[in-house]
Amino acid sequence: MSDALAIRPLDPFPAAAIEALAVESAREGFRYVRRLLDEHASGEVRFDGAGEVLLGVFDGDGLIAIGGVTRDPYGGEAGTGRVRHVYVHPAHRRGGVGARLLAALEAHARGHFHALVLRTDTDAAARFYEALGYRALAAGGTATHRRDLHPSPPAPSTAPAGANPI
């Protein structure tokens, strides 16, 4: 994957750039990027609640991947976030874009949620998430996968050896 790629919050919401991904995803039979646009337009999901974020991966000025985290609106467990609308343009798959995007979503979520859940209906996506540490859940629920988040490890100390950091 190119080092020139940038992951950043999509605020303000770039409807035109997301529309291009929605068109491409529809060619593959996926409806969830279109649903993202519709939910945003209706105000149903805006990624503006506590701990929520919508991230985009850019190759130069082009949006090539998208994904977000919201509070899980379906489960009753407080402190659980939901990974939503993760999509990587087909020309940019298999190069680590999706893994980097998910790592950025998880890093953001760690400050707000103790676990993330998601729903997928493809075997390829299930394998992708499972390879990144998500565990499959029993069928029939509102989520197919879950990952418990652990706090980020503490930053290494910059104090000189033998110094008392307190």
Please, what is the average pLDDT of the chain? Answer: 90
Q: Could you tell me if residue 43 is left (phi over 0), alpha (psi between -120 and 50 degrees) or otherwise beta?
A: left
What is the structure's pLDDT at 4?
83
What is the structure's pLDDT at 2?
54
What is the structure's pLDDT at 10?
97
Q: Under 8 Å CB-to-CB from 41, ≥6 apart: which residues?
A: 15
* Contact (CB, 8 A) for 66 and 85: yes
What is the structure's pLDDT at 152?
57
The answer on pLDDT for 154 being more than 90 is no
Q: CA 54 → CA 12, 135, 155, 161, distances in Å? A: 10, 23, 26, 41
Q: Which residues pair with 57 in a beta bridge?
A: 7, 65
Tell me the pLDDT tens digit for each residue of 75-112.
878 899 999 999 999 999 999 999 999 999 999 999 99
Q: Which residues pair with 117 in a beta bridge?
A: 82, 146
What CATH number should be reported for the domain whose range is 5-148? 3.40.630.30
What is the structure's pLDDT at 151?
63
How many CB atoms are located within 10 Å of the residue 75 CB?
15
* Contact (CB, 8 A) for 25 and 87: yes
Tell me the pLDDT tens digit for each residue of 9-41.
999 999 999 999 999 999 999 999 999 999 999
CA distance 67 to 162: 44
Tell me the pLDDT tens digit for each residue of 50-83.
999 999 999 999 999 999 999 999 987 889 999 9
Listed range (43-52, 84-93, 129-138, 149-158) with the worst mean pLDDT: 149-158
Q: Indicate the pLDDT class of residue 166, thresholds 50, 70 and 90.
A: very low
* Contact (CB, 8 A) for 116 and 109: yes
CA distance 49 to 145: 22
